[in-house]
A and B are shown apart, each in its own frame.
Chain A
Protein backbone atom coordinates (compact mmCIF):
# COMPACT_ATOMS: atom_id res chain seq x y z
CA UNK A 1 0.00 0.00 0.00
CA UNK A 2 1.14 3.52 -0.78
CA UNK A 3 2.47 5.55 2.17
CA UNK A 4 -0.06 7.81 3.91
CA UNK A 5 0.01 11.12 2.05
CA UNK A 6 0.90 14.25 3.98
CA UNK A 7 -2.55 15.79 3.83
CA UNK A 8 -4.02 12.69 5.40
CA UNK A 9 -1.40 12.53 8.15
CA UNK A 10 -1.96 16.22 8.87
CA UNK A 11 -5.69 15.66 9.05
CA UNK A 12 -5.25 13.39 12.05
CA UNK A 13 -8.56 11.70 12.72
CA UNK A 14 -9.09 8.35 11.05
CA UNK A 15 -12.30 6.41 11.34
CA UNK A 16 -12.53 3.73 13.98
CA UNK A 17 -12.20 0.32 12.40
CA UNK A 18 -15.66 -1.21 11.98
CA UNK A 19 -14.29 -4.43 13.42
CA UNK A 20 -10.94 -5.89 14.27
CA UNK A 21 -11.42 -8.79 11.91
CA UNK A 22 -8.59 -9.49 9.53
CA UNK A 23 -11.05 -10.59 6.90
CA UNK A 24 -13.77 -8.91 4.90
CA UNK A 25 -16.42 -10.87 3.09
CA UNK A 26 -17.31 -9.74 -0.41
CA UNK A 27 -21.06 -8.99 -0.23
CA UNK A 28 -21.42 -9.99 -3.87
CA UNK A 29 -19.62 -13.34 -4.14
CA UNK A 30 -18.92 -14.13 -0.46
CA UNK A 31 -15.20 -14.42 -1.12
CA UNK A 32 -13.11 -14.05 2.05
CA UNK A 33 -10.56 -11.31 1.55
CA UNK A 34 -7.63 -10.11 3.62
CA UNK A 35 -8.33 -6.54 4.72
CA UNK A 36 -4.66 -5.80 4.22
CA UNK A 37 -4.87 -6.84 0.59
CA UNK A 38 -8.09 -4.97 -0.09
CA UNK A 39 -6.50 -1.53 0.08
CA UNK A 40 -3.93 -2.57 -2.47
CA UNK A 41 -6.71 -3.92 -4.65
CA UNK A 42 -8.40 -0.47 -4.42
CA UNK A 43 -11.14 -2.17 -2.39
CA UNK A 44 -12.25 -4.19 -5.39
CA UNK A 45 -12.98 -7.89 -5.01
CA UNK A 46 -10.39 -9.75 -7.11
CA UNK A 47 -12.79 -12.62 -7.71
CA UNK A 48 -15.96 -10.86 -8.92
CA UNK A 49 -14.91 -7.24 -9.40
CA UNK A 50 -17.33 -5.93 -6.78
CA UNK A 51 -16.47 -2.41 -5.60
CA UNK A 52 -16.54 -2.14 -1.82
CA UNK A 53 -17.97 1.16 -0.63
CA UNK A 54 -15.02 3.29 0.40
CA UNK A 55 -14.55 6.23 2.69
CA UNK A 56 -14.14 9.75 1.38
CA UNK A 57 -10.54 9.71 2.64
CA UNK A 58 -9.72 6.55 0.72
CA UNK A 59 -11.45 7.93 -2.36
CA UNK A 60 -9.37 11.10 -2.21
CA UNK A 61 -6.22 8.98 -1.85
CA UNK A 62 -7.25 7.20 -5.04
CA UNK A 63 -7.92 10.38 -7.02
CA UNK A 64 -5.70 13.21 -5.75
CA UNK A 65 -2.12 13.47 -7.01
CA UNK A 66 -0.56 14.64 -3.79
CA UNK A 67 -1.79 17.32 -1.48
CA UNK A 68 -5.49 17.81 -0.75
CA UNK A 69 -6.23 21.14 0.89
CA UNK A 70 -9.48 20.72 2.67
CA UNK A 71 -11.86 23.68 2.98
CA UNK A 72 -14.90 24.31 5.17
CA UNK A 73 -13.76 21.35 7.28
CA UNK A 74 -15.25 22.73 10.48
CA UNK A 75 -18.85 23.08 9.35
CA UNK A 76 -21.11 21.18 11.69
CA UNK A 77 -24.81 20.63 11.32
CA UNK A 78 -27.42 22.19 13.57
CA UNK A 79 -30.67 20.53 14.52
CA UNK A 80 -33.31 22.74 12.88
CA UNK A 81 -36.24 20.40 13.63
CA UNK A 82 -35.00 19.30 17.06
CA UNK A 83 -35.50 15.88 15.66
CA UNK A 84 -35.95 12.63 17.54
CA UNK A 85 -37.15 9.25 16.29
CA UNK A 86 -35.71 6.18 17.98
CA UNK A 87 -32.81 8.39 19.04
CA UNK A 88 -32.16 12.10 18.67
CA UNK A 89 -30.55 13.57 15.57
CA UNK A 90 -27.82 15.05 17.76
CA UNK A 91 -26.96 11.56 19.03
CA UNK A 92 -27.03 10.12 15.52
CA UNK A 93 -24.62 12.68 14.09
CA UNK A 94 -22.31 12.38 17.10
CA UNK A 95 -22.15 8.63 16.44
CA UNK A 96 -21.51 9.21 12.75
CA UNK A 97 -18.63 11.53 13.55
CA UNK A 98 -16.98 8.88 15.69
CA UNK A 99 -17.70 6.05 13.30
CA UNK A 100 -16.57 7.85 10.15
CA UNK A 101 -13.93 10.18 11.55
CA UNK A 102 -15.65 12.91 9.56
CA UNK A 103 -17.51 16.06 10.54
CA UNK A 104 -20.12 15.45 7.87
CA UNK A 105 -21.07 13.35 4.84
CA UNK A 106 -18.75 15.18 2.43
CA UNK A 107 -15.16 16.36 2.27
CA UNK A 108 -14.38 19.30 0.01
CA UNK A 109 -11.08 20.80 -0.98
CA UNK A 110 -8.57 21.56 -3.69
CA UNK A 111 -6.08 19.21 -5.30
CA UNK A 112 -4.80 18.01 -8.63
CA UNK A 113 -6.22 14.97 -10.42
CA UNK A 114 -3.79 13.47 -12.88
CA UNK A 115 -2.03 16.81 -13.12
CA UNK A 116 -5.10 19.04 -13.45
CA UNK A 117 -5.99 21.45 -10.63
CA UNK A 118 -9.60 21.03 -9.48
CA UNK A 119 -12.02 21.63 -6.65
CA UNK A 120 -13.02 18.20 -5.38
CA UNK A 121 -15.94 17.11 -3.22
CA UNK A 122 -16.23 13.52 -2.06
CA UNK A 123 -19.28 12.18 -0.24
CA UNK A 124 -19.07 9.45 2.36
CA UNK A 125 -21.85 6.90 2.80
CA UNK A 126 -20.67 6.06 6.31
CA UNK A 127 -21.98 9.38 7.61
CA UNK A 128 -25.82 9.26 7.73
CA UNK A 129 -25.88 7.22 4.53
CA UNK A 130 -24.29 10.12 2.69
CA UNK A 131 -27.53 12.07 3.03
CA UNK A 132 -27.61 15.76 2.15
CA UNK A 133 -28.48 18.13 4.96
CA UNK A 134 -27.42 21.72 5.58
CA UNK A 135 -23.71 21.01 5.74
CA UNK A 136 -23.51 18.88 2.59
CA UNK A 137 -25.55 21.50 0.70
CA UNK A 138 -23.42 24.33 2.08
CA UNK A 139 -20.10 22.61 1.35
CA UNK A 140 -21.06 21.69 -2.21
CA UNK A 141 -22.23 25.28 -2.76
CA UNK A 142 -19.07 26.76 -1.23
CA UNK A 143 -16.89 24.46 -3.32
CA UNK A 144 -18.63 25.37 -6.57
CA UNK A 145 -18.57 29.08 -5.73
CA UNK A 146 -14.87 28.92 -4.89
CA UNK A 147 -14.13 27.00 -8.11
CA UNK A 148 -15.85 29.84 -9.93
CA UNK A 149 -13.65 32.42 -8.22
CA UNK A 150 -10.48 30.43 -8.86
CA UNK A 151 -11.63 29.48 -12.36
CA UNK A 152 -11.14 25.78 -11.70
CA UNK A 153 -13.19 22.77 -12.78
CA UNK A 154 -15.42 21.25 -10.10
CA UNK A 155 -15.59 17.50 -9.51
CA UNK A 156 -17.99 15.89 -7.06
CA UNK A 157 -17.94 12.19 -6.22
CA UNK A 158 -21.46 11.30 -5.09
CA UNK A 159 -22.53 8.58 -2.64
CA UNK A 160 -25.85 9.36 -1.05
CA UNK A 161 -29.18 8.05 0.10
CA UNK A 162 -30.79 11.40 -0.77
CA UNK A 163 -32.02 14.35 1.27
CA UNK A 164 -31.57 13.96 5.02
CA UNK A 165 -34.93 13.32 6.64
CA UNK A 166 -33.87 14.58 10.07
CA UNK A 167 -33.40 18.09 8.71
CA UNK A 168 -36.77 18.11 6.97
CA UNK A 169 -37.41 20.85 4.45
CA UNK A 170 -34.12 22.55 5.31
CA UNK A 171 -32.52 19.46 3.75
CA UNK A 172 -34.81 19.41 0.70
CA UNK A 173 -33.95 23.07 0.06
CA UNK A 174 -30.27 22.13 -0.26
CA UNK A 175 -31.28 20.65 -3.62
CA UNK A 176 -32.42 24.12 -4.66
CA UNK A 177 -29.35 25.80 -3.19
CA UNK A 178 -26.83 23.51 -4.88
CA UNK A 179 -28.78 23.68 -8.15
CA UNK A 180 -28.55 27.46 -8.06
CA UNK A 181 -24.79 27.21 -7.50
CA UNK A 182 -24.44 24.80 -10.45
CA UNK A 183 -26.57 27.09 -12.65
CA UNK A 184 -24.29 30.06 -11.87
CA UNK A 185 -21.16 28.01 -12.35
CA UNK A 186 -22.41 26.81 -15.74
CA UNK A 187 -22.60 30.43 -16.92
CA UNK A 188 -18.88 30.84 -16.23
CA UNK A 189 -18.00 28.27 -18.85
CA UNK A 190 -16.17 26.03 -16.41
CA UNK A 191 -16.58 22.26 -16.45
CA UNK A 192 -18.55 20.44 -13.77
CA UNK A 193 -18.05 16.70 -13.55
CA UNK A 194 -19.75 14.21 -11.27
CA UNK A 195 -18.77 10.65 -10.45
CA UNK A 196 -21.76 8.62 -9.28
CA UNK A 197 -20.75 5.83 -6.92
CA UNK A 198 -22.70 3.27 -4.95
CA UNK A 199 -25.33 4.41 -4.06
CA UNK A 200 -26.47 7.71 -5.56
CA UNK A 201 -30.17 8.30 -5.14
CA UNK A 202 -32.92 10.77 -4.28
CA UNK A 203 -32.10 14.37 -3.51
CA UNK A 204 -28.48 14.17 -4.61
CA UNK A 205 -29.16 12.40 -7.91
CA UNK A 206 -32.09 14.79 -8.54
CA UNK A 207 -29.88 17.83 -8.06
CA UNK A 208 -26.14 18.28 -8.67
CA UNK A 209 -25.54 14.56 -9.32
CA UNK A 210 -27.25 14.80 -12.69
CA UNK A 211 -26.48 18.45 -13.47
CA UNK A 212 -22.89 17.89 -14.54
CA UNK A 213 -21.42 18.45 -18.00
CA UNK A 214 -19.99 14.95 -17.90
CA UNK A 215 -21.50 12.26 -15.68
CA UNK A 216 -19.31 9.27 -14.91
CA UNK A 217 -20.71 6.22 -13.11
CA UNK A 218 -18.41 3.89 -11.25
CA UNK A 219 -19.09 0.33 -12.38
CA UNK A 220 -21.66 -1.67 -10.48
CA UNK A 221 -23.11 1.25 -8.54
CA UNK A 222 -26.82 1.58 -7.72
CA UNK A 223 -28.04 4.88 -9.12
CA UNK A 224 -31.58 6.17 -9.32
CA UNK A 225 -34.24 8.53 -8.10
CA UNK A 226 -36.41 6.25 -5.98
CA UNK A 227 -35.13 3.52 -3.73
CA UNK A 228 -35.59 -0.04 -4.90
CA UNK A 229 -37.86 -0.88 -1.99
CA UNK A 230 -40.18 2.05 -2.71
CA UNK A 231 -40.47 1.01 -6.35
CA UNK A 232 -41.12 -2.59 -5.31
CA UNK A 233 -43.93 -1.52 -3.00
CA UNK A 234 -45.45 0.79 -5.61
CA UNK A 235 -45.52 -1.39 -8.70
CA UNK A 236 -45.42 -4.88 -7.16
CA UNK A 237 -43.79 -6.52 -10.13
CA UNK A 238 -40.41 -8.03 -10.77
CA UNK A 239 -37.73 -5.45 -11.46
CA UNK A 240 -35.56 -6.06 -14.53
CA UNK A 241 -32.08 -7.58 -14.08
CA UNK A 242 -29.49 -4.99 -13.20
CA UNK A 243 -32.20 -2.37 -12.63
CA UNK A 244 -30.67 0.97 -11.53
CA UNK A 245 -27.11 -0.30 -12.00
CA UNK A 246 -24.48 1.89 -13.65
CA UNK A 247 -24.62 -0.33 -16.70
CA UNK A 248 -28.44 -0.04 -16.84
CA UNK A 249 -28.12 3.74 -16.73
CA UNK A 250 -25.55 3.77 -19.52
CA UNK A 251 -27.82 1.62 -21.67
CA UNK A 252 -30.73 4.00 -21.02
CA UNK A 253 -28.72 7.08 -21.89
CA UNK A 254 -28.53 8.53 -18.40
CA UNK A 255 -24.73 8.64 -17.90
CA UNK A 256 -21.81 9.38 -20.21
CA UNK A 257 -19.66 6.41 -19.26
CA UNK A 258 -19.22 3.58 -16.83
CA UNK A 259 -15.69 3.38 -15.49
CA UNK A 260 -13.96 0.79 -13.31
CA UNK A 261 -12.47 2.08 -10.09
CA UNK A 262 -8.91 1.53 -11.29
CA UNK A 263 -9.57 3.65 -14.38
CA UNK A 264 -11.33 6.54 -12.64
CA UNK A 265 -8.32 8.74 -12.08
CA UNK A 266 -6.88 8.49 -15.63
CA UNK A 267 -10.39 8.92 -17.07
CA UNK A 268 -11.03 12.05 -15.00
CA UNK A 269 -7.60 13.32 -16.03
CA UNK A 270 -8.36 12.78 -19.71
CA UNK A 271 -11.73 14.53 -19.47
CA UNK A 272 -10.36 17.43 -17.41
CA UNK A 273 -7.41 17.93 -19.75
CA UNK A 274 -9.74 18.15 -22.72
CA UNK A 275 -11.79 20.90 -21.07
CA UNK A 276 -8.60 22.71 -20.09
CA UNK A 277 -7.10 22.49 -23.60
CA UNK A 278 -6.60 25.94 -25.07
CA UNK A 279 -8.20 26.96 -28.32
CA UNK A 280 -4.85 28.52 -29.25
CA UNK A 281 -3.93 25.27 -30.87
CA UNK A 282 -6.31 25.73 -33.83
CA UNK A 283 -5.09 23.36 -36.52
CA UNK A 284 -3.87 25.10 -39.67
Chain B
Protein backbone atom coordinates (compact mmCIF):
# COMPACT_ATOMS: atom_id res chain seq x y z
CA UNK B 1 0.00 0.00 0.00
CA UNK B 2 1.30 3.44 -0.94
CA UNK B 3 1.55 5.59 2.20
CA UNK B 4 1.05 8.81 0.22
CA UNK B 5 -2.18 7.52 -1.32
CA UNK B 6 -3.40 6.88 2.23
CA UNK B 7 -2.17 10.23 3.53
CA UNK B 8 -3.80 12.27 0.80
CA UNK B 9 -7.25 10.62 1.03
CA UNK B 10 -8.79 13.32 3.28
CA UNK B 11 -7.33 15.97 0.98
CA UNK B 12 -8.88 14.39 -2.09
CA UNK B 13 -12.24 14.15 -0.32
CA UNK B 14 -12.04 17.82 0.55
CA UNK B 15 -11.08 18.73 -3.00
CA UNK B 16 -13.98 16.80 -4.48
CA UNK B 17 -16.33 18.54 -2.00
CA UNK B 18 -15.00 21.90 -3.23
CA UNK B 19 -15.53 20.83 -6.83
CA UNK B 20 -19.10 19.83 -6.00
CA UNK B 21 -19.85 23.18 -4.39
CA UNK B 22 -18.33 25.03 -7.35
CA UNK B 23 -20.62 23.14 -9.69
CA UNK B 24 -23.64 23.94 -7.53
CA UNK B 25 -22.55 27.56 -7.49
CA UNK B 26 -22.72 27.65 -11.27
CA UNK B 27 -25.83 25.57 -11.92
CA UNK B 28 -28.11 26.40 -8.96
CA UNK B 29 -27.45 30.15 -8.81
CA UNK B 30 -26.88 29.84 -5.08
CA UNK B 31 -23.87 31.65 -3.66
CA UNK B 32 -21.52 29.17 -1.94
CA UNK B 33 -18.44 31.36 -2.37
CA UNK B 34 -17.93 31.84 1.36
CA UNK B 35 -18.12 28.09 2.02
CA UNK B 36 -15.82 27.41 -0.95
CA UNK B 37 -13.24 29.86 0.28
CA UNK B 38 -13.31 28.36 3.76
CA UNK B 39 -12.89 24.83 2.40
CA UNK B 40 -10.09 25.91 0.10
CA UNK B 41 -8.25 27.45 3.01
CA UNK B 42 -8.73 24.21 4.91
CA UNK B 43 -7.50 22.18 1.96
CA UNK B 44 -4.37 24.29 1.61
CA UNK B 45 -3.68 23.95 5.29
CA UNK B 46 -4.17 20.21 5.11
CA UNK B 47 -1.87 19.98 2.09
CA UNK B 48 0.84 21.87 3.91
CA UNK B 49 0.42 19.62 6.94
CA UNK B 50 0.59 16.41 4.92
CA UNK B 51 3.32 17.33 2.47
CA UNK B 52 5.22 20.09 4.22
CA UNK B 53 7.58 17.79 6.05
CA UNK B 54 7.76 14.39 4.38
CA UNK B 55 10.21 11.78 5.64
CA UNK B 56 12.59 10.18 3.12
CA UNK B 57 10.49 7.01 3.24
CA UNK B 58 7.28 8.93 2.49
CA UNK B 59 9.06 10.57 -0.40
CA UNK B 60 10.02 7.15 -1.74
CA UNK B 61 6.29 6.45 -1.83
CA UNK B 62 5.63 9.77 -3.52
CA UNK B 63 8.07 8.67 -6.21
CA UNK B 64 5.99 5.48 -6.55
CA UNK B 65 2.64 7.24 -6.53
CA UNK B 66 0.28 5.58 -9.02
CA UNK B 67 -0.53 8.93 -10.63
CA UNK B 68 3.06 10.21 -10.86
CA UNK B 69 4.10 11.13 -14.42
CA UNK B 70 5.95 8.23 -16.09
CA UNK B 71 8.75 8.25 -18.66
CA UNK B 72 6.37 8.18 -21.61
CA UNK B 73 4.47 11.19 -20.25
CA UNK B 74 7.64 13.26 -20.67
CA UNK B 75 8.70 11.61 -23.90
CA UNK B 76 5.33 12.02 -25.63
CA UNK B 77 5.31 15.68 -24.56
CA UNK B 78 8.25 16.11 -26.95
CA UNK B 79 7.28 16.78 -30.57
CA UNK B 80 6.96 13.92 -33.01
CA UNK B 81 8.14 11.03 -30.84
CA UNK B 82 8.79 7.95 -32.93
CA UNK B 83 9.34 4.77 -30.97
CA UNK B 84 12.04 2.32 -32.03
CA UNK B 85 11.80 -1.25 -30.86
CA UNK B 86 13.96 -4.25 -30.15
CA UNK B 87 17.53 -5.29 -29.46
CA UNK B 88 17.85 -6.98 -32.89
CA UNK B 89 18.81 -10.19 -31.14
CA UNK B 90 16.23 -11.53 -28.75
CA UNK B 91 13.09 -9.45 -28.22
CA UNK B 92 11.65 -6.03 -27.49
CA UNK B 93 11.71 -5.13 -23.80
CA UNK B 94 8.71 -2.91 -22.96
CA UNK B 95 10.36 -1.84 -19.67
CA UNK B 96 12.62 0.44 -21.73
CA UNK B 97 11.15 2.75 -24.34
CA UNK B 98 13.41 4.20 -26.99
CA UNK B 99 13.21 6.39 -30.04
CA UNK B 100 13.66 9.89 -31.37
CA UNK B 101 11.75 13.16 -31.11
CA UNK B 102 12.18 16.93 -31.21
CA UNK B 103 12.93 19.05 -28.17
CA UNK B 104 11.75 22.52 -29.20
CA UNK B 105 12.69 21.73 -32.77
CA UNK B 106 16.00 20.09 -31.85
CA UNK B 107 16.29 16.45 -32.92
CA UNK B 108 17.11 14.21 -29.93
CA UNK B 109 17.25 10.52 -29.13
CA UNK B 110 15.34 9.40 -26.06
CA UNK B 111 15.42 6.49 -23.64
CA UNK B 112 13.16 5.88 -20.69
CA UNK B 113 12.40 3.23 -18.11
CA UNK B 114 8.66 2.76 -18.31
CA UNK B 115 6.31 1.47 -15.63
CA UNK B 116 2.61 0.72 -16.04
CA UNK B 117 -0.38 2.64 -14.70
CA UNK B 118 -2.32 -0.45 -13.64
CA UNK B 119 -1.74 -4.15 -13.05
CA UNK B 120 -2.25 -5.12 -16.66
CA UNK B 121 0.14 -2.45 -17.92
CA UNK B 122 2.61 -3.25 -15.18
CA UNK B 123 2.69 -6.90 -16.18
CA UNK B 124 3.43 -5.79 -19.74
CA UNK B 125 6.11 -3.31 -18.61
CA UNK B 126 7.46 -5.69 -15.96
CA UNK B 127 6.97 -2.91 -13.37
CA UNK B 128 9.65 -0.91 -15.14
CA UNK B 129 12.35 -3.49 -14.43
CA UNK B 130 14.42 -4.01 -17.58
CA UNK B 131 15.90 -7.27 -18.83
CA UNK B 132 19.28 -7.40 -20.62
CA UNK B 133 17.55 -6.99 -23.98
CA UNK B 134 16.18 -3.66 -22.72
CA UNK B 135 19.70 -2.42 -22.01
CA UNK B 136 20.81 -3.77 -25.39
CA UNK B 137 18.02 -1.84 -27.10
CA UNK B 138 19.26 1.18 -25.15
CA UNK B 139 22.78 0.57 -26.51
CA UNK B 140 21.41 0.69 -30.06
CA UNK B 141 19.89 4.11 -29.36
CA UNK B 142 23.09 5.36 -27.71
CA UNK B 143 25.05 4.35 -30.81
CA UNK B 144 22.52 6.07 -33.09
CA UNK B 145 22.80 9.25 -31.03
CA UNK B 146 26.57 9.15 -31.39
CA UNK B 147 26.59 8.24 -35.07
CA UNK B 148 24.21 11.03 -36.02
CA UNK B 149 25.55 13.48 -33.42
CA UNK B 150 22.24 14.13 -31.71
CA UNK B 151 21.90 14.68 -27.98
CA UNK B 152 20.59 11.80 -25.89
CA UNK B 153 17.90 12.36 -23.26
CA UNK B 154 17.17 9.65 -20.72
CA UNK B 155 14.33 9.30 -18.22
CA UNK B 156 15.15 7.13 -15.22
CA UNK B 157 12.33 5.43 -13.32
CA UNK B 158 12.96 1.86 -12.24
CA UNK B 159 12.91 -0.10 -8.98
CA UNK B 160 15.95 -1.88 -10.44
CA UNK B 161 17.09 -4.20 -13.19
CA UNK B 162 15.04 -7.40 -13.13
CA UNK B 163 16.46 -10.19 -10.98
CA UNK B 164 15.37 -13.39 -12.72
CA UNK B 165 16.58 -16.56 -14.39
CA UNK B 166 16.34 -15.32 -17.98
CA UNK B 167 17.93 -12.01 -17.04
CA UNK B 168 20.94 -13.82 -15.60
CA UNK B 169 21.15 -16.30 -18.49
CA UNK B 170 21.23 -13.45 -20.98
CA UNK B 171 23.81 -11.44 -19.05
CA UNK B 172 22.18 -8.66 -17.03
CA UNK B 173 25.61 -7.66 -15.70
CA UNK B 174 27.19 -7.49 -19.12
CA UNK B 175 24.24 -5.56 -20.56
CA UNK B 176 24.48 -2.83 -17.91
CA UNK B 177 28.30 -2.84 -17.96
CA UNK B 178 28.24 -2.29 -21.73
CA UNK B 179 25.79 0.61 -21.36
CA UNK B 180 28.11 2.27 -18.85
CA UNK B 181 31.18 1.85 -21.03
CA UNK B 182 29.31 3.16 -24.05
CA UNK B 183 27.85 6.17 -22.24
CA UNK B 184 31.21 7.08 -20.72
CA UNK B 185 32.75 7.54 -24.14
CA UNK B 186 29.68 8.59 -26.16
CA UNK B 187 30.67 11.47 -28.42
CA UNK B 188 27.44 13.42 -28.02
CA UNK B 189 25.77 15.24 -25.11
CA UNK B 190 23.84 13.11 -22.61
CA UNK B 191 21.20 14.66 -20.35
CA UNK B 192 19.75 12.42 -17.65
CA UNK B 193 16.41 12.98 -15.87
CA UNK B 194 15.79 10.97 -12.72
CA UNK B 195 12.03 11.44 -12.51
CA UNK B 196 10.81 8.59 -10.29
CA UNK B 197 12.76 5.70 -8.83
CA UNK B 198 16.51 5.47 -9.29
CA UNK B 199 16.98 1.84 -8.34
CA UNK B 200 20.70 1.09 -8.22
CA UNK B 201 22.60 -0.33 -11.21
CA UNK B 202 19.40 -0.75 -13.18
CA UNK B 203 18.93 3.01 -13.05
CA UNK B 204 22.60 3.85 -13.59
CA UNK B 205 22.58 1.79 -16.82
CA UNK B 206 20.90 4.74 -18.56
CA UNK B 207 21.98 7.45 -16.12
CA UNK B 208 25.66 8.14 -16.82
CA UNK B 209 25.78 11.51 -18.54
CA UNK B 210 26.92 15.12 -18.72
CA UNK B 211 24.09 16.74 -16.80
CA UNK B 212 22.02 14.87 -14.23
CA UNK B 213 18.64 16.38 -13.41
CA UNK B 214 16.50 15.01 -10.61
CA UNK B 215 12.90 15.73 -9.75
CA UNK B 216 12.60 16.94 -6.17
CA UNK B 217 10.84 13.85 -4.83
CA UNK B 218 12.50 11.20 -6.98
CA UNK B 219 14.86 8.85 -5.16
CA UNK B 220 18.17 7.46 -6.36
CA UNK B 221 20.09 4.93 -4.31
CA UNK B 222 22.71 2.20 -4.26
CA UNK B 223 19.88 -0.13 -3.11
CA UNK B 224 16.15 0.20 -2.58
CA UNK B 225 15.24 0.94 1.05
CA UNK B 226 13.53 -2.47 1.27
CA UNK B 227 16.57 -4.32 -0.04
CA UNK B 228 18.89 -2.35 2.24
CA UNK B 229 16.70 -3.07 5.26
CA UNK B 230 16.56 -6.77 4.56
CA UNK B 231 20.33 -6.94 4.06
CA UNK B 232 21.24 -4.81 7.08
CA UNK B 233 18.62 -5.83 9.61
CA UNK B 234 17.10 -8.91 7.93
CA UNK B 235 13.87 -6.97 8.27
CA UNK B 236 12.20 -5.30 5.28
CA UNK B 237 9.87 -3.37 7.60
CA UNK B 238 12.85 -1.23 8.59
CA UNK B 239 12.75 0.34 5.14
CA UNK B 240 11.85 3.75 6.59
CA UNK B 241 15.03 3.64 8.65
CA UNK B 242 17.07 2.55 5.62
CA UNK B 243 15.56 5.32 3.47
CA UNK B 244 16.87 7.85 5.96
CA UNK B 245 20.37 6.38 6.13
CA UNK B 246 20.89 5.83 2.40
CA UNK B 247 20.78 9.59 1.63
CA UNK B 248 18.66 9.03 -1.42
CA UNK B 249 16.85 12.38 -1.68
CA UNK B 250 17.54 14.99 -4.33
CA UNK B 251 18.79 17.50 -1.76
CA UNK B 252 21.30 15.08 -0.27
CA UNK B 253 22.53 13.83 -3.66
CA UNK B 254 22.92 17.43 -4.73
CA UNK B 255 25.14 18.06 -1.72
CA UNK B 256 27.26 15.01 -2.57
CA UNK B 257 27.69 16.31 -6.12
CA UNK B 258 26.08 13.17 -7.54
CA UNK B 259 23.39 15.16 -9.35
CA UNK B 260 23.65 18.56 -10.99
CA UNK B 261 20.17 20.08 -10.86
CA UNK B 262 16.97 19.62 -8.87
CA UNK B 263 13.64 20.44 -10.50
CA UNK B 264 11.03 21.44 -7.91
CA UNK B 265 7.67 19.70 -7.65
CA UNK B 266 4.40 21.35 -6.61
CA UNK B 267 3.32 20.85 -3.01
CA UNK B 268 1.95 17.33 -2.81
CA UNK B 269 4.16 15.96 -5.58
CA UNK B 270 4.41 15.89 -9.36
CA UNK B 271 0.98 14.32 -9.82
CA UNK B 272 -0.70 17.46 -8.40
CA UNK B 273 0.33 19.36 -11.53
CA UNK B 274 1.64 16.91 -14.10
CA UNK B 275 1.70 19.32 -17.05
CA UNK B 276 3.69 21.90 -15.13
CA UNK B 277 6.24 19.32 -13.99
CA UNK B 278 6.69 17.98 -17.51
CA UNK B 279 7.24 21.50 -18.80
CA UNK B 280 9.81 22.23 -16.09
CA UNK B 281 11.75 19.06 -16.82
CA UNK B 282 11.80 19.65 -20.56
CA UNK B 283 12.84 23.28 -20.01
CA UNK B 284 15.75 22.08 -17.89
CA UNK B 285 16.64 19.57 -20.61
CA UNK B 286 16.59 22.31 -23.21
CA UNK B 287 18.91 24.55 -21.22
CA UNK B 288 21.33 21.68 -20.58
CA UNK B 289 21.37 20.49 -24.19
CA UNK B 290 21.92 24.03 -25.51
CA UNK B 291 24.87 24.52 -23.17
CA UNK B 292 26.42 21.12 -23.90
CA UNK B 293 26.01 21.41 -27.66
CA UNK B 294 28.33 24.41 -27.62
CA UNK B 295 31.22 22.36 -26.22
CA UNK B 296 33.74 20.78 -28.60
CA UNK B 297 33.25 17.01 -28.44
CA UNK B 298 36.68 16.28 -26.95
CA UNK B 299 36.04 18.77 -24.19
CA UNK B 300 32.60 17.29 -23.57
CA UNK B 301 34.13 13.83 -23.13
CA UNK B 302 36.96 15.15 -20.93
CA UNK B 303 34.51 16.97 -18.69
CA UNK B 304 32.36 13.86 -18.39
CA UNK B 305 35.44 11.86 -17.41
CA UNK B 306 36.43 14.40 -14.76
CA UNK B 307 32.87 14.62 -13.45
CA UNK B 308 32.94 10.95 -12.45
CA UNK B 309 36.68 10.78 -11.84
CA UNK B 310 36.42 13.04 -8.83
CA UNK B 311 33.56 11.22 -7.07
CA UNK B 312 34.89 9.45 -4.02
CA UNK B 313 35.46 9.74 -0.30
CA UNK B 314 38.93 8.56 0.56
CA UNK B 315 42.12 9.81 2.08
CA UNK B 316 45.73 8.84 1.61
CA UNK B 317 47.57 7.97 4.79
CA UNK B 318 50.95 9.49 4.16
CA UNK B 319 52.51 8.01 7.29
CA UNK B 320 51.57 4.50 6.17
CA UNK B 321 54.45 4.34 3.76
CA UNK B 322 56.94 6.02 6.10
CA UNK B 323 56.19 3.61 8.92
CA UNK B 324 57.06 0.55 6.91
Residues of A within 8 A of B (CB): 10, 12, 72-81, 83-86, 103, 133-135, 137-138, 141, 163-165, 167-177, 179-180, 182-184, 186-187, 201-203, 205-211, 223-227, 230-231, 234-235, 239-240, 243-244, 248, 252-254
Contacts and interface: CB of A to CB of B under 8 A. Distances in A.
A163 B222 contact: yes
B248 interface: yes
The 3 closest A-B pairs by CB, nearest first: A226-B163, A78-B313, A179-B180
Contacts of B304: 180
Contacts of B200: 163, 172, 203
B201 A168 contact: no
B61 to A, nearest CB: 20
Contact of B172 (A76, A168, A175, A226): A226
Interface stretch (B26-34, B35-43, B224-232, B265-273): B224-232
Contact of B316 (A74, A179, A235): A74
A81 to B, nearest CB: 5
B308 A12 contact: no
B253 interface: yes
A244 B171 CA distance: 10
Contact of A207 (B162, B180, B317): B180
A122 to B, nearest CB: 19
A254 B248 CA distance: 32
B96 interface: no
B181 interface: yes
A164 to B, nearest CB: 8
Given A165-B222, A169-B258, A206 B231 contact: no
Contact of B177 (A186, A209, A248): A209
A183 B185 contact: yes
Given A170-B256, A234-B163, A175 B321 contact: no
A165 B316 CA distance: 22
Given A83-B245, A134-B311, A168-B222, 6 more contacts: A168-B246, A169-B253, A175-B180, A180-B185, A186-B181, A211-B177
Contacts of A182: 181, 184
B165 A239 contact: yes
A163 B163 CA distance: 16
Contact of A170 (B162, B164, B204, B313): B313
Interface string B168-185: 111111101110111111
Prevailing SS type, chain B contact patch = helix
Nearest to B241: A85
B291 interface: no
A67 to B, nearest CB: 16
A79 B256 CA distance: 12
B181 A211 contact: yes
A181 B184 CA distance: 9
B184 to A, nearest CB: 4
B311 A173 contact: yes
15 contacts: A12-B324, A80-B313, A86-B232, A135-B312, A163-B200, A167-B313, A172-B221, A180-B308, A183-B185, A206-B180, A209-B177, A235-B164, A243-B165, A243-B168, A248-B169
A165 B168 contact: no
A176 B258 CA distance: 11
B223 interface: yes
Nearest to A254: B171
A205 to B, nearest CB: 4
Contacts of A240: 165
A103 B316 CA distance: 11
A252 B258 contact: no
Contact of B163 (A76, A103, A175, A225): A225
B320 interface: yes
A69 to B, nearest CB: 13
B305 interface: yes
Contacts of A201: 173
B314 A134 contact: yes
Given A74-B318, A176-B180, A171 B222 contact: yes
